[in-house]
A and B are shown apart, each in its own frame.
Chain A
Amino acid sequence: MSFSLLHPALAWGLLAALVPLAIHLFFRRRPRPTPFPAIDFILRARRETERRLRLKKVLLFTARTLLLAAVAAALMRPRLERPEEARAAAARGPSAVALVLDASASMGYRLHGETLFERARADLLAALDDLSGEEPATAVVCGGPAAPVAAPPTFDKAAVRRALREAEPTLGHGDMTACAAAAARALSESGTGASLSKRLVVATDLAASSWRLDAAPPMVQGASGRERPEVTLLDAARGEPLPNLALTELAAEPDSSAGLRGYRVTATVASFGEPRSNARARDVELQVHLGPPSTPVTMRSYAQVPPGGAVKKTLSVRFPQGGPASVSVTIPPDALEVDDARVATVAVPREVKTLIVNGAPSPVRHRDEAFFVEAALASNASPVRPTVVDADALRTVKLADYDVVFLLNVRALGPKAAELREFVERGGGLFLAMGDEVDPDRWDEELKGLLPRPLHVVKTAAERGAPGAESRAARFADIDWSHPALQVFTGPAREGFEGVRTWRYMLLKPAERGGPGDRVLVSYDDGAPALVEARRGQGRVVLYTSTVDRTWSDWTIRTSFLPVIQRLAAYLGGSLEERRDRPSVVNAPRAIVPDEGQRVAALVGPDGSERPASALRSDPKGALTLVPDRPGLWQVKVEEHGEQRLDPRLAFAVLPDPRESDTARLDPQELTAWFGGEGHARVASDAAQGPRQVPLWSMLLALGLLAFFAEGLLLV
């Protein structure tokens, strides 16, 4: 250990220790000669007390001198430091210093009761204290959403100290490579300390995910051109490994086997920061919450996570009601808590009330026009609740009580047509299927403007049962697989739809010029439309040009019939389009787009704090953009018709940055090599050797206080 002074200029203060001596000499009076008879007694008394008095005087003088010297010495901020530190400081001479503080989410790792961020900040404050008065400094805090910037070095150490003290740990990713480059740029800028050598002091956890070693290392503009700066890496982890268990993925998919509103939740738990062969797998408890992590636990499960590996766990849950919802999974909190919970948002299917109007009822079930449709919609996994009425009974039914109406082989609507038109325009869904009972002319007349296209005539592709009819039957050819009702078919599953054979179907007239548009979802192989969709008012209409029984087509006995009918019902009822946007990542901008007539009033973070809309910025398109600073479920408070409410449909999940969960550390040699080798960079990891410097000022002040009390006791 060597001794050094932070403020050597204050050594003049040590002269204060001479004050007692000066006072003693200055105020020393010549004794007044006084004749006195009992001089023998004085001599005897002095002889008896002389030693004690002399000792007291010496002690008093020592105490006073010590008191002043201790205070003066404490002001110089003396300290003991390790020889290599002192040698390095002496060798490098004064330099402009950039202090880079890693404030990324992984710095929230708690080690021995304090976070790595707190350690790193303390390290940098100590490094700042180490700087001499001739060394300007600047601070770069690395971890926010904005690109790292650094001010030029300044001699105002108080401002730099304040910047470090006010720095907050973030929950996002910190690109230390970019931060080091920004710090180097700040050092290169002309200004204070331009003529000095340049030095970076980086306090970090050395997480490999924070460094991009394939990028160019930082360079500074020196006196002789571009050169590598001297780099000191302060390892906040003090060389210790940082094992971390994290939830890295969470997916929620509908699970029909779990019934209506059943979901399959798949969580991935990964182990980071420890070698694979380190130990055996750990049992980790997973807790599922139907809502954010603050809601009660719905389900518990365990996963065995191997060291350095990952495991997926799938669990089935069932939501109590339809509509927008969220599900979260948590694991027991560990040293890094930010990635111990994940939230996903889901759109749980709502119930769709459907009226099936049977135009050709039959006592024989399989010949009944509505048999297959009702069977398809009434399955347990379907959110659709069908009600079947005959066409004759339609006039007694109030259409507004339903979400979707299926008209199956109905001859005509008569006076109910106007109500049906109003039903659709107000948002209702309408599915039309053809058949022998349908009168195209009356349909065209009664449902003019409501039909996607006017009906024309029935075409027979082949007579069913005739020789070669199977091959001559029409097939679905041009299919819009992107439609929500059809996009469930992928790969071989599409064959179940493509193999449908149709013997007879209704040809459609071309769409009226200037009329409302339509969209052909499926065509037959001859080009005739098979499934046509049109939007009318706020509602939708889907026209199927064949029958939903077995008289004109065999679709009803194909595997594709049930899912398509179910999804069409949901689509027409509006619940199929209720999908949730993909989750965001911390610090990634996200646009908040409310529905028409709504205005975003505020955003409510996972911690319950509200951010008013005025605090959000707008993107070039005018949409409000949030940069979420913490993971979890964010909710949107909208204002509609003068009232504010949380709109669950706009809630979104924000995920922790997966890079920050990976606490695997860089080999210090690798990082120092990137900075230019040992000649330019070194890692100061000194946990085993205790603090680099031992400040002595507090001990000196205690000594001064002791001297003060001793002086008081001697004067008593």
Chain B
Amino acid sequence: MTNGKPLLDPVVLARLATLHLRVRAITEGVLTGLHKSPHHGQSVEFAEHKEYAPGDDVRRIDWKAYGKFDKYYVKQFEQETNLRAFLVVDGSGSMGYRGVPERLSKLEYASALAASLAYLLVRQGDAAGLVVVADRVVKTIPARAAASHLPAIVDTLAALAPSGPTRLAAAVDHVLENAPRRSSVLVFTDLFDAEEKVLKQLALLRRRKHEVTVFHLLDPHEIDFPFEDPTLFLSMEDPREVEANGRDVRKGYLEVLHRWLEEVRRSAAEADLELVPCRSDRPLDGILLPFLARRERAA
């Protein structure tokens, strides 16, 4: 706790100068939370049996097979390594938005989430990779489980500068090409994509047996639209601009927004994508802990 506020409060995190500090603060907080439930380790997939030989882990002896064949067999697994996760971060111009200066921008919030998850994955021996996408794949870091791999991810996220339009399809293509087996794809985006039906693109990943989780990031100003006066709204991804009185268009804006959010929720459900709505003023543990708990239960 700092000044009576949760350490994972975005306002508090925003005061931390570097992403490294933020990741430490987040993960410490998250791990404190995780200790409350047992962590059972890796996810594995059964491949074949082999006859027991000294040195094999007695915990892996298949007692049912011993009952059938009166011999000791040990379970062999197809992949002995942990989970492979791709962290897809939307680095387009719209992700640079923050409603008030003291708040994290959506990209900073996404970076904090992604880095924290990368830390947690690598800490438990999973492989974590990074894909930064705007109108194209801007930056990639292959998925590795080595702890030495983590600083590269955090440094890359810390150095991200939002720019350009959004085209998540490029990231989807990249993951499809570089993830030969089943992986977990964590997408951090505001879904303001230049291409409509972006969730259908993400559904391709799901059809290839990848687990897809979309962290849908929105700033409170985007949700509440608190503008009152005549304002010249400038697009953050293209040269468009529109002059409008906030008071006049608020009602219409909120109607359109809510219709769109409903559409996103419905499309995600249809495509069997896990959708995690994220307000950039919410504490991060409020997002991470439920997410991790769900993953544990699924495992």
Contacts and interface: CB of A to CB of B under 8 A. Distances in A.
A567 to B, nearest CB: 109
A34 B231 contact: yes
Contacts of B242: 39, 42-43, 46
A26 interface: no
Interface stretch (B48-56, B76-84, B131-139, B232-240): B232-240
A44 interface: yes
B151 interface: no
B252 A38 contact: no
Interface stretch (B3-11, B37-45, B111-119, B222-230): B222-230
Nearest to A34: B231
In this complex, the member of A36, A37, A46 whose beta carbon has the largest number of chain B beta carbons within 10 angstroms is A37
A38 B219 CA distance: 10
B221 to A, nearest CB: 8
B190 A37 contact: yes
A670 interface: no
Contact of A29 (B190, B227, B229, B236): B229
A48 interface: yes
Given A29-B229, A42-B242, A35 B234 contact: yes
A36 B236 contact: yes
B251 interface: yes
B109 interface: no
Interface string A142-165: 000000000000000000000000
Interface-central residue, B232, B235, B252, by most chain A CB under 10 Å: B252
A29 to B, nearest CB: 6
B252 A48 contact: yes
Contacts of B222: 36-38
B188 interface: no
Contacts of A53: 248-249
A397 B247 CA distance: 121
A41 B97 contact: no
A40 B190 CA distance: 13
A37 B192 contact: yes
Interface in A15-64: 29, 31-46, 48-49, 53
Looking at B234, B248, B260, which has the most chain A CB atoms within 10 Å of its CB?
Answer: B248
Contacts of A49: 248-249, 251-252
B243 A38 contact: no
Contacts of A42: 233, 242, 244, 249, 253
B70 interface: no
A32 B236 contact: no
Nearest to B222: A38
Contacts of A38: 94, 192, 222, 253, 257
A49 B255 CA distance: 11
Contact of A36 (B106, B233, B248, B256): B233
Nearest to B237: A37
B252 A46 contact: yes
Given A31-B230, A44-B256, A37 B97 contact: yes
Contacts of A32: 229-232
B256 A41 contact: yes
Given A37-B190, A40-B192, A41-B260, A31 B249 contact: no
B235 A41 contact: no
Contacts of B251: 45, 49
Contact of B234 (A33, A43, A44): A33
Contact of B232 (A34, A41, A46): A34
Most buried by B among A32, A33, A41: A41
A687 B259 CA distance: 69
B252 to A, nearest CB: 3
A37 B236 contact: yes
Contacts of B236: 35-37, 39
Contacts of B229: 29, 31-32
B244 A46 contact: yes
A38 B237 CA distance: 10
A673 to B, nearest CB: 74
A59 B267 CA distance: 42
9 shortest interchain CB distances as A-B pairs: A45-B252, A37-B94, A31-B232, A45-B253, A31-B230, A49-B252, A36-B233, A33-B232, A39-B235
22 contacts: A31-B229, A31-B230, A34-B234, A35-B97, A36-B97, A36-B236, A37-B106, A37-B235, A38-B253, A38-B257, A39-B236, A39-B240, A41-B256, A42-B249, A42-B253, A45-B249, A45-B251, A45-B252, A45-B253, A48-B252, A49-B249, A53-B248
Given A34-B232, A37-B94, 11 more contacts: A31-B243, A33-B234, A34-B233, A35-B236, A36-B235, A37-B236, A38-B192, A38-B253, A38-B257, A42-B253, A48-B256
Interface of B: 93-95, 97, 106, 190, 192, 219, 221-222, 227, 229-237, 240-244, 248-249, 251-253, 255-257, 260
